[in-house]
């Protein structure tokens, strides 16, 4: 893991069991799903399937981006201001 990935991994928080299960099931959680190893953040329903140990959650897109994550190209990234 790179230095930047380590810094990203220390940001946000780990998903709770119920949140992770909902996200994997494609259910809306309203959270921003960020992956420390890739540096991207995703919305609910993104087809990307990162390992839970690399996943950090944020309440808002702004928090995720302040921590060094950028929006996913596949889903447009998480957060309420993201395009549908």
Residues in contact with Zn ion by CB under 5 A are 42, 46, 48, 72, 74-75
Whose structure tokens read 């302040």?
66
Q: Find the shortest distance in angstroms from Cβ 68 to Zn ion.
A: 16
Q: Find the shortest distance in angstroms from Cβ 57 to Zn ion.
A: 14
What is the number of the residue whose Cβ is closest to Zn ion? 72
Nearer to Zn ion, 24 or 74 (CB): 74
- Rounded to the nearest 5 percent, the helix, strand and coil shares of the chain are 30, 15, 55
Q: Find the shortest distance in angstroms from Cβ 40 to Zn ion.
A: 7
Beta strands, E only, the chain: 32-35, 40-42, 55-58, 70-71
Element (H, E) at 66: helix 61-66
Nearer to Zn ion, 3 or 47 (CB): 47
């Amino acid at each position: 893991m790179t230095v930047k990935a380590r810094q990203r991994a220390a940001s946000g928080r780990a998903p709770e069991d119920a949140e992770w299960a909902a996200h994997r099931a494609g259910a809306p959680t309203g959270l921003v799903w960020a992956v420390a190893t890739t540096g991207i953040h995703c919305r609910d329903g993104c087809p990307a399937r990162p390992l839970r140990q690399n996943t950090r959650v944020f309440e808002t897109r702004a928090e995720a981006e302040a921590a060094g994550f950028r929006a996913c190209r596949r889903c447009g990234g998480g957060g309420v201001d993201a395009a549908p």
